Structure 1
């Protein structure tokens, strides 16, 4: 990846629109425990990653930081999140990183309930072949939709939920709502990357 993906603060009005965002994320996702800079691999990938822990639920959330400044055509701006059990944090980091990199490279953005399939297995040792982007299954809507003091929505945080190959095909045949109903029916723990497929 080249270094031409610098923050484009002129697009969309600049960083002042996101005052209070860090506090909002911490309020819902828990205490920040670490961060990975945009140049962790040597080049500037256009976003960093921040790690949060919610001790009461034994959960870790990995959230992108900087995607909102990239020219991906999103209005409002976007960041990505993935919440898993603490011992699976490395996998959540990978899912957010690979999805954010795809958006930056293709200069594309997500829409609610969008499925991003992958031809091959995303995580070794699992059946996951894609992610489903949408609201957070545990956190309130204020986590997903960040507004400025005037109540204007400035940012959407799309939570990535891993989906198996069978679930990818099920969504193609029946839609996202039907998959969510299956998850509810079988009481699927969407934070567990060791979970089986429901279809």
Structure 2
């Protein structure tokens, strides 16, 4: 029932999906809605895995149309990392990388936060009672090396505040840094 509720939630916000290569028994879904200017990849089944987290989790990443490989790659490596460590992601956390996560870009990490293009109601899947949390959707926003450094130096809230006022498309992995 839980996976069905998550799949229905995805369908409501993102439309129909196609399965891409799984990570073990977990599904990776590809959403390419006609009416949106972004594509999304998301896990389905991570919420059933035995990991340490406040609530069961699924991982989501959206990018501008045409950058599909970036979103799939980020979801895939995040799912693998969570399964290896046995620990879920934490909201408003930065996951840095020593080098570019995506070849040919300045993306050196991700910010786990609310989805930048969907309302807050997207972030949590509730059971029919409207109270019980079925899964928390952990959205990964690609960030640059300078943005990672700012979060480390001045805190994640400083980075989030800067991203909130910046006039950039956070879903574009080729964007310039806001720092």
TM-score above 0.5: yes
SS of equivalent to 2:35: helix
Question: Counterparts of 1:7-46 in structure 2 under 5 Å?
Answer: 16-32=1-17, 34-38=18-22, 44=24, 46=25
Where does residue 91 of structure 2 map in the other structure? 112
User: Which whole-Å CA distance do the structure 2 matches of 1:20 and 1:68 have between them?
Assistant: 11
* 1:176 and 2:156 aligned: yes
Where does residue 58 of structure 1 map in the other structure? 37
Where does residue 116 of structure 2 map in the other structure? 137
Asked whether the equivalents of residues 7 and 44 of structure 2 are also in contact (C-alpha less than 8 Å), the reply is no
Where does residue 61 of structure 2 map in the other structure? 82
Which of 29, 33, 48 aligns to 1:69? It is 48
Where does residue 197 of structure 1 map in the other structure? 177
Question: Counterparts of 1:94-105 in structure 2 under 5 Å?
Answer: 94-105=73-84
User: Which whole-Å CA distance do the structure 1 matches of 2:160 and 2:106 have between them?
Assistant: 18
After superposition, the CA RMSD in angstroms is 1.5
Shift of 1:37: 4.3
User: Which whole-Å CA distance do the structure 2 matches of 1:18 and 1:99 have between them?
Assistant: 19
Shift of 1:18: 4.1
Residues 13-68 of structure 1 show CA distances to partners (whole Å, capped at 9, x for unaligned) of xxx33442212111112232x212436xxxx2x42200112322221100011111
Shift of 1:192: 0.8
Unpaired stretches in structure 2, ≥5 consecutive residues: none
Unpaired stretches in structure 1, ≥5 consecutive residues: 1-15
Where does residue 13 of structure 1 map in the other structure? none
How many corresponding residue pairs? Answer: 178
| Normalised TM-score (structure 1) | 0.84
Asked whether the equivalents of residues 18 and 148 of structure 1 are also in contact (C-alpha less than 8 Å), the reply is no
Shift of 1:132: 0.8
Between Structure 1 and Structure 2, whose CA radius of gyration is higher? 1
Residues 154-179 of structure 1 show CA distances to partners (whole Å, capped at 9, x for unaligned) of 20011100111111110012222221
